[in-house]
Amino acid sequence: MRAEINRQWLLASRPRGTVAEADFRCHEVPCPNIGSGQFLVRTLYVSVDPGLRGWLTHSPEYLSEAIDLYRDALFVTRGQMTVPPQYSAPLSIGAVMCGSALGQVVESRHPEFAVGDFVSGLLGWQEYCASDGTAQVPVFRFKRVHPLPRYLGVLGNSGMTAYFGMLDVAKPRAGETVLVSGAAGATGSTAAQIAKIRQCRVIGVAGGDEKRRWLTEQLGLDAAIDYKSEDLDARLKELCPDGVNVYFDNVGGRTLEIVLDHMATWGRIALCGAISDYDHAGAPAGPANLVHLATRRIRMEGFLAPDYAPRYREARRQLSAWLATGALKSCEDIHEGFENIPRAFLGLFRGANIGKAMVKLADPV
């Protein structure tokens, strides 16, 4: 079932400093017609992700690489190892906002995609999207076993990021002290729970008392620090007298600098992201104490989840099994309505979300 009109959010201007709703513009076009070998997807849920902030302002080289990585990941996930042709240029003013989403096929002239199939991929911030499944709009099909939002959360990119970042990069051992920043967010909440499953002592850092309580009372973390009202340095001194063995860093900046002072010898830091640096003008606040890496023999390693795409099936299987036993809890922060996509995106930089933030556009049929 298609509508006549396809609403889209376009990039209206490049943010200078903090991104604003005015940087996006709502636009209406006719719903696309599909040709032979194509199918039409109706968007059901749009994912909002901090990484999109970089796509609004970063250099073309960085963007092309990021988009290619992501697109290749989708193809590897589908089991098609061939690399499709170059993706379009980085986001330009007036372009449909990029981003991942999940939807349902509503019309098809493609042999592999049938009406009713659920798909996930780079559909963008729009209500309908035509795809041939291979080139400009890469998508993969999935069977719905869990509630749909989970395929953008624990079973989507944030789950993959948490799984490989924690297990392959940070490699926590039972009994070690693991610290996770952004712990009440999509990636952080899953990463922290994985460390608990690995029998570590896990401490989360998040903004606000509600998040602090959620981490200990609902997710079962050993302790949580509200970095907005507590002194992070003093709390780490108190909670980690023998140092932090593993730090899963979602935040970067000043938080990373404070944590570095508390790292134990032979510690590991998985550098997942640096959201505290994304949404303002000027140079990011770099840690001034990197010498600890040498004196304490700490390994700090950055990673991108799509690098692990050939192993996404393994991760999804394991994460699904943990969800089934209740060892892992998923939490989605779902906004309603197409018009609220930019607002939900902006909320990430104020810490408005608990768990995976997304926007619901429509119900499946």
Write the DSSP string, 160-187.
Answer: HHHHHIIIIII---TT-EEEEESTTBHH
Cβ proximity of 38 and 109 under 8 Å = yes
CA distance 22 to 250: 27
With contacts defined by CB under 6 A, name the span among 33-41, 104-112, 139-147, 350-358 that binds ligand NAP: 350-358
Among 32, 37, 51, 243, binds ligand NAP (CB under 6 A): 51
The closest residue (CB) to ligand NAP is: 185
CA distance 88 to 151: 25
- 269-288 binders of ligand NAP (CB under 6 A): 272-276
- 216-255 binders of ligand NAP (CB under 6 A): 250-251
Among 117, 346, 353, 359, binds ligand NAP (CB under 6 A): 353
Among 303, 311, 318, 343, binds ligand NAP (CB under 6 A): 303
Among 19, 42, 46, 50, binds ligand NAP (CB under 6 A): 50
Beta bridge partner(s), residue 225: 205
Residue 342 contacts by C-beta under 8 Å, 6 or more apart in sequence?
Answer: 9, 21, 23, 24
CA distance 135 to 71: 9
Nearer to ligand NAP (CB atom), residue 119 or residue 272:
272
- Residues 111-150: x/- map of binding to ligand NAP (CB under 6 A)? ----------------------------------------
Number of residues that bind ligand NAP (CB under 6 A): 31
Note whether 90 binds ligand NAP by CB under 6 A. Answer: no
Among 206, 236, 260, 341, binds ligand NAP (CB under 6 A): 206
CA distance 186 to 314: 20
Nearer to ligand NAP (CB atom), residue 110 or residue 262:
262
CA distance 75 to 83: 8
Among 341, 348, 359, 361, binds ligand NAP (CB under 6 A): 348
Note whether 256 binds ligand NAP by CB under 6 A. Answer: no
Residue count of the chain, please give it. 365
Q: How far is CA 27 from CA 8, 14, 56, 229, in A?
A: 5, 17, 18, 41
CA distance 356 to 315: 18
Nearer to ligand NAP (CB atom), residue 40 or residue 63:
63
Note whether 63 binds ligand NAP by CB under 6 A. Answer: no
Cβ proximity of 226 and 207 under 8 Å = yes
Note whether 99 binds ligand NAP by CB under 6 A. Answer: no
Note whether 104 binds ligand NAP by CB under 6 A. Answer: no
Note whether 177 binds ligand NAP by CB under 6 A. Answer: no
- Residues 148-167: x/- map of binding to ligand NAP (CB under 6 A)? ---------xx--x------
CA distance 364 to 118: 9
> What is the three-class DSSP state of 130?
strand
Residues at the site binding ligand NAP, with contacts judged by CB under 6 A: 49-51, 157-158, 161, 182, 184-188, 206-208, 211, 250-251, 272-276, 303-305, 348-349, 351, 353, 357
